[in-house]
Amino acid sequence: MSQIKGVFAAAVTPLNPDFTPAPEALATYLAFLQQRGCHGALLLGTTGEGPSLSSNQRLELMRSAISIRQDNPDFALLAGTGTPSLDETVVNTRAAFDLGFDGVVVLPPYYFRKAGEEGLLFWYSEVIRRAVPEDGSVFFYHIPPLTGINLTVDFFSRLRELFPNQFAGLKDSSGDPIFCRALGDEFGDDLLVFTGNDRLFSQALQTHASGCITAAASLISPTLRAIWDRYLAGSQLEDLQEWVNGVRELLDRYAPFPPVIKALLANRFGFPHWAVCPPLRDLPQEIVDEISSRLDLA
C-alpha cells in the first residue's frame, strides 16, 4: 500500500475506429504519464470507459498495461473492476490481482440504487471474500453524480472494520469539500483517500488525502505533481492550485471527459485520435480547437 500514493491519472482507453480496444497503444501512453510526473494510473474507470467494455476487453487491456513494469517497476497500476453484476465484478477483480495490479477501484452496483447501505455492505463483502487476496487493496469508487449512490462516512468505517487489511480506501469523486474534510477527520492517515476532483486537491492533501486520481492528470500532471511535491516539502500551494482550478473549470464545460481528454492528447501531444465508445461521441474539431487555444499546456 505504501506505493499507492501521489498523482494518478484516470487514464483513457485507446480504442480503434470500430470501438475495439487498442492495447498495443497503452504502453506508450502509460510511459508518457510516468514521464510527466504521474506516480501511477487507474485503468478502466469512468474516464477509461470501463463500464462500456466487456470483461474480455478489460482483461486484454490489463495484460497490455502490466508490461510498463518492465521499464518502470515503481509505476503503480489500479484497475476499475466494478459492474452491477457481482459475478462479473469478481472475475474482473481476480484477473487484476492475478496479473499483479497494485489494487482495484470498484464502483457500487448502481442499477439498484435503493438497495441501501446494508445491501451494499453485503455486496462488497462478497467481492472481497471471493476475489481479493489477504494482501490485496480494494478502493471504493465514490462517484454519486454518476451512480446516484451517496454514502456516509459511517459506511466506510464499517467496511474498514470488516476488512481492515483489504479495504484500503476510496476514490472520492463526490466533489463535496465537506465530505472530503469529514473523511480526513474520521480516518486521518489510516485510510488511503484519493480525490477525483482537481479543484479539491490541495484541500484534500491538507485533510490527510493520499493523492488524486483525475482525468485532467493526463494533461496537467506536471502541475499536479508540483502540488504534491510542494505539499510534502511544506511549501505554499495556492498559485498552482488556482491554475489547476481554471483548467478544471474549462474542462468541466465539455464533460463527459473521455472525448475531451482523447481529443486534447491528440491535439497537443501527438497521440492518435482514439475513438470513444457509444453512446459517447467525438467532439467537433472546432470545439477541440477552441479548448486547445485556451489551455496553456506544456
Q: Is 121 helix (H, G, I), strand (E, B) or coil?
A: helix
Q: Answer yes or no: 262 catalytic.
A: no
- Out of 47, 81, 124, 141, the active site residue is 141
Q: Answer yes or no: 141 catalytic.
A: yes
- b (16+ CB within 10 A) / e for 63-86: ebbbebeeebeebbbbbbbbbeeb
Provide φ and ψ at 41, rounded to 5°.
-145, 150
Q: Going by DSSP bridges, is the β-strand pair 76-80/40-43 parallel, antiparallel, or unpaired? A: parallel
Q: DSSP letter at 8?
A: E
- Out of 20, 28, 111, 152, the active site residue is 111
Joined grid coordinates for residue 75: 509505476
- Out of 13, 29, 46, 207, the active site residue is 46
Single-letter amino acid code for the residue at 196: G
Q: Which residues contact 123 (CB under 8 A, 6 or more apart)?
A: 86, 108, 109, 115
Distances (CA, A) of 227 to 66, 239, 249, 261: 27, 10, 18, 21
Q: DSSP letter at 113?
A: T
The number of helix segments (H) and strand segments (E) in the chain equals 12, 8
The dihedral through the CA atoms of 96, 101, 104, 105 has a sign that is: negative
- Out of 13, 83, 147, 171, the active site residue is 171
Q: Answer yes or no: 29 catalytic.
A: no
Q: Answer yes or no: 171 catalytic.
A: yes
Which residues form the catalytic set?
46, 111, 141, 171
